[in-house]
Amino acid sequence: MKDKLPNFLIVGAVKSGTTSLYNYLKKHPEIYIPDSKEPRFFSFYGIPKAIFLKNVFPNLENTFIRDWKSYLLLFQNSVNFKAIGEASTSYLFHHERVIENLNKFFPEWKKLKIIIMLRDPVDACFSHYSMYRMRGGEPLVFEKALEAEKERISKKYITLAHSIRFFFYHHVKAYLDNFDQVKIYLFDDLKKDTLGLLEDIYKFLGVDPSFISDVSTKYNVSGIPKNKFIHKFLINPNILKSIVKPIAKTLIPPGEWRKIVEKIKMKNLQKSQMKPETREYLKNLYRDDILKLQNLIKRDLSSWLE
């Protein structure tokens, strides 16, 4: 039997609502997306292990798909689905490597449908920092982490270089230049009219646009844990969770387990605040890129500069 391959990719951006989008699209009966978000295969295929480990630090190596056979296994149950895809936010930032690798593995890679979600880069940058701070992977306060970026980049610790991945213009342009069908949405679109955005994506993917997904849960929200024990229990592997989770999944309907976990996580988080002077610094840092991006995608992004 011929291997099933994705016909669409959600390529990013990180911290721009892609986890929520992934979970909403996954509910559609004509859309197949693997249970594991972020396989990130095309971002890191073929690079030396030492560079790979530095590039993805402090993420765990075993959360990445590194070989073609394992990647294909993600889609082995996708028979009879109209739209088959995956969501890896690293694909936007690492666009050069991704496009090169897609060309190696996909006979008609230019025909892949590409979905891009973008967010105000200042907020996205702080959210990215907050995510790693929340997980325990970022030891520095935000301003010190920004100061450390140049050194981190020089040493290939790309994941903890928070601001560089949100200069969107060149990343987006690469996809527009190389693919026949690209849809670009804003995080604000997702917040203001989630169902309208989903309907537009359904039409783009060629599936039933009348399907109404449950959009009551927000996913992958960042913040400061009120109770560190509860937070670590929810996000880290542990013996108790390995016992409870399989039992819970037999009692709770499919898809509901993740919703319950996300709601508990959200209630246990409080939003951290960025210093006003840091916000101004980042707005000035991104200003030229934002102006170029709005001309490229024909969207008013002036609110990002206010």
| Domain extent at residue 246 | 224-270
**Residue 92, C-beta contacts closer than 8 angstroms, at least 6 positions apart:** 11, 12, 13, 14, 116, 165, 168, 171, 172, 175
Indicate whether 201 and 238 sit together in one domain. Answer: no
Indicate whether 57 and 196 sit together in one domain. Answer: yes
Nearest-angstrom CA–CA distance, 158 and 170: 17
Indicate whether 74 and 194 sit together in one domain. Answer: yes
DSSP string covering 19-45, please? HHHHHHHHTSTTEE--SSS---HHHHT
Contact between 285 and 163 under an 8 Å Cβ cutoff? The reply is yes
- pLDDT of 219 reads 74
- pLDDT of 222 reads 61
Contact between 169 and 296 under an 8 Å Cβ cutoff? The reply is yes
Kindly state whether residue 133 falls inside one of the protein's structural domains: no
Please list the pLDDT of the chain residue by residue as tens digits (306 residues): 567 899 999 999 999 999 999 999 999 999 999 998 999 999 999 999 999 999 999 999 999 999 999 999 999 999 999 999 999 999 999 999 999 999 999 988 999 999 999 999 999 999 999 999 988 899 999 999 999 999 999 999 999 999 999 999 999 999 999 999 999 999 999 999 999 999 999 999 999 999 999 998 777 666 666 666 666 666 666 666 666 667 766 767 656 666 677 677 667 666 778 999 999 999 999 999 999 999 999 999 999 999
Buried b (16+ CB within 10 A) or exposed e, 56-65: bbebeeeebb
Indicate whether 207 and 241 sit together in one domain. Answer: no
Kindly state whether residue 134 falls inside one of the protein's structural domains: no
Indicate whether 251 and 181 sit together in one domain. Answer: no
Kindly state whether residue 75 falls inside one of the protein's structural domains: yes
The structure tokens listed for 286 are: 């991104």
Tell me the CATH number at 109: 3.40.50.300
pTM of the model: 0.86
- pLDDT of 169 reads 98
- pLDDT of 249 reads 64
Kindly state whether residue 89 falls inside one of the protein's structural domains: yes
Contact between 56 and 132 under an 8 Å Cβ cutoff? The reply is no
- pLDDT of 233 reads 63
Indicate whether 173 and 207 sit together in one domain. Answer: yes
Buried b (16+ CB within 10 A) or exposed e, 6-25: bbbbbbbbbbbbbbbbbbbb
Indicate whether 260 and 198 sit together in one domain. Answer: no
Kindly state whether residue 148 falls inside one of the protein's structural domains: no
Indicate whether 36 and 77 sit together in one domain. Answer: yes
Indicate whether 190 and 261 sit together in one domain. Answer: no
Kindly state whether residue 74 falls inside one of the protein's structural domains: yes
Residues in the chain, overall count: 306
Indicate whether 256 and 168 sit together in one domain. Answer: no
Indicate whether 58 and 74 sit together in one domain. Answer: yes
Nearest one of 192, 196, 215, 297 to 21, comparing CA atoms: 215
Kindly state whether residue 300 falls inside one of the protein's structural domains: yes
Kindly state whether residue 20 falls inside one of the protein's structural domains: yes
Where does residue 298 fall: left (phi above 0), alpha (psi -120 to 50 degrees), or beta otherwise?
left
Nearest-angstrom CA–CA distance, 238 and 290: 43
Indicate whether 201 and 253 sit together in one domain. Answer: no
State how many domains the chain has. Answer: 2
